Homo-oligomer: A and B are copies of this chain.
Amino acid sequence: MESTALSVGAYLIERLRAFGVDHVFGVPGDYVLSFFKQLEESPIEVINTCDEQGAGFAADAYARIRGMGAVCITYCVGGLKVANTTAQAFAEKSPVVVISGAPGTNERYKNPLLHHKVRDFDTQLKVFEQLTVATAVLDDPQTAFCEIDRVLAAARRYCRPVYIELPRNIVNAIGTTCLPRITIQEKSDPAVLAAALQEAVALINTSRQPVILAGEELHRFGLQSLLATLIEKTNIPVASTILGKSVFAESHPRYLGVYEGAMGREEVREYVESSDCVILLGALLTDMNLGIYTAQLQQKYSIYCATEKLSIGYHTYEEVGLEEFIEGLLKADIVRQSDEPVPHPLQPANFQVVKDRPMTVQRLFQQLNAFLDDDMVVVADPGDALFGGADLFIHGKTRFLAPAYYASLGFAVPAAIGAQAAAPQLRPLVLVGDGAFQMTGIELSTAARFGLNPIVVVLNNQGYGTERPMQDGPFNDVLGWRYSQLPQLLGQGIGFEVHTEDQFAEALQKAHTHTDSFCLIEVHLEPGDCSEALKRLTGSLAERIHSTV
């Protein structure tokens, strides 16, 4: 007997809220209208984006901050538009719940050609099986609540996207409370854990210069404070991967900066690569994290622990969890490192503006560094916005968002919408190239509509700057928009066009005080200009592109 009868849609909303979801991003359509109505009448705020792609990126950013995000769209014409954003959430471990409306179960009899259908009624499901860790078609009110519980638990457990398909005749159907889930306590094997810790501690304690390389899983699985405690206790210096950037307080004296092989600051590279004990915690070994394989980490001297793998030197241990391993290190008798200073990112100084000096990429980031404050979250698009952004001095934890592995262009502007919805006390500073801005920058419309106020810096180098050093051609050009005119189209926001450092300084200052709506600052850069990191990266990539079998 149920005390209160809940509809399937209402139960889904209740469970999403329990997981911290207060906003849902999406675009309505007839197969999902009833659920949009339920959302609107619930405490959850619906944020309509211009296109479903924008909703997908926004939900990803929201999930990275809140621990879960949701995108709600209609069948196929909406769902398949978020295939790419869901893929990114999968690759970079972001727990996004994809909720798709669908034809009613009562409409599917005899397999009719209903609008929005591709091949069969399960085509969209089959696509999302490739892109998520769990899927559910809520075609039976009897099991719908259990199914919702199952997939939301999977999203949280694996920090990866899940897919829920909601036939429109089920939304308002009353469901059945499910029995408490049989949950399996995942525990490390005590003997294996003890052996691994013993070997790790011995390696650390006999090393000359241990260093920790911190990755994004520490953030995704809520282990940031554990890392901080470990650093306090052992004094071991810590670098982060580019995907993990801001996982550790960058103002901390033991923080080295971002390590990414040849792409990162040279002093960080030297420090990490001269270490005789690199402890990688929660880091994916991606090409980007490894500076496109320019990283020189010696496996013999490495301790690698992530949620799906633990290896020390040349051998691996199975059945050891990341959290328990770090807890074990914390309890172990690790020699405290000396206070001898380590390389540290330069604290941003007052930037000395040179009047009429044309903007350069390098000085743009220096100028931004002096502008960043405690109340900002940086959202960077792939490309030089990300590579240059890697050395920004981030003030708080998880205040730097970027798809630094999957690297889908067009992430940053819609992600800023998700970030600010998730953390209204933070103002997004968006760094985006002109090519990427032309993909999704129009979602500033959504920011304007929902009263958000990101500061968007468009790095205008007249095309796909990342690709030019690899292989140039007219296909790397984009049309020269007058980006600062966008507020005229949208009827909100203010725009700036910047050629020189003093103009940029003035625009930043005005943007700082204009908090009513978004600010867009177009910065003209020389097409050939790019960050040192990008030069090193693309040189390395070019070799691969021109190779044949």
Contacts and interface: CB of A to CB of B under 8 A. Distances in A.
Contact of A287 (B40, B81, B113, B545): B113
Interface string A7-44: 00000000000000000000011100110110110000
B36 A473 contact: yes
A322 B84 CA distance: 38
A343 interface: no
Contact of A491 (B51, B127, B482): B482
A480 interface: yes
Given A76-B84, A475-B40, A53 B50 contact: no
A278 interface: no
Contact of A488 (B131, B489, B541): B489
A533 to B, nearest CB: 15
Nearest to A480: B491
Contact of A84 (B34, B77, B405): B77
B169 A288 contact: no
B442 A442 contact: yes
Contacts of A36: 471, 473, 475
Contacts of A51: 53, 410, 438-440
A194 B214 CA distance: 75
B80 A407 contact: no
Contacts of A84: 76-77, 80-81, 83
Interface string A117-137: 111000100110011000000
Interface string A493-507: 000000000000000
B91 A117 contact: yes
A512 B288 CA distance: 51
Contacts of A328: none
A470 B474 CA distance: 47
Interface centre among A119, A449, A470 (most CB of B within 10 A): A119
A352 to B, nearest CB: 34
Interface in A462-477: 464, 466-467, 470-471, 473-477
Given A51-B438, A287-B113, A87 B76 contact: yes
B471 A37 contact: yes
A311 interface: no
Contact of A445 (B105, B112, B119, B438): B438
B439 A50 contact: yes
B488 A445 contact: no
Contacts of A446: 479
A42 to B, nearest CB: 12
A136 to B, nearest CB: 17
A456 interface: no
Interface in A391-430: 405-410
B406 A118 contact: yes
A118 B106 contact: no
A83 B169 CA distance: 26
A178 to B, nearest CB: 19
Contact of A405 (B113, B127, B483): B113
Given A51-B440, A53-B81, A479-B448, A115 B287 contact: yes
A489 B474 CA distance: 22
A115 B288 contact: yes
Given A445-B438, A489-B486, A549 B30 contact: no
Contacts of A491: 479-482
Nearest to A41: B473
A91 B118 contact: yes
Nearest to A29: B467
A358 interface: no
A172 interface: yes
A545 B33 contact: yes
Given A83-B80, A84-B81, A481-B445, A30 B545 contact: yes
B130 A406 contact: no
A165 to B, nearest CB: 15
B48 A409 contact: no
Given A113-B405, A116-B406, A482 B488 contact: yes
Interface of A: 28-30, 33-34, 36-37, 39-40, 46, 48, 50-51, 53, 76-77, 80-81, 83-84, 87-88, 90-91, 104-107, 112-119, 123, 126-127, 130-131, 141, 168-170, 172-173, 284-288, 405-410, 438-440, 442, 445-446, 448-449, 464, 466-467, 470-471, 473-483, 485-486, 488-492, 541, 544-549
Question: What 9 pairs across the A-B complex have the smallest Cβ distances?
Answer: A80-B84, A113-B286, A33-B471, A83-B83, A50-B438, A77-B408, A51-B439, A87-B118, A449-B479
7 contacts: A28-B475, A30-B541, A51-B440, A77-B408, A83-B127, A106-B547, A480-B491
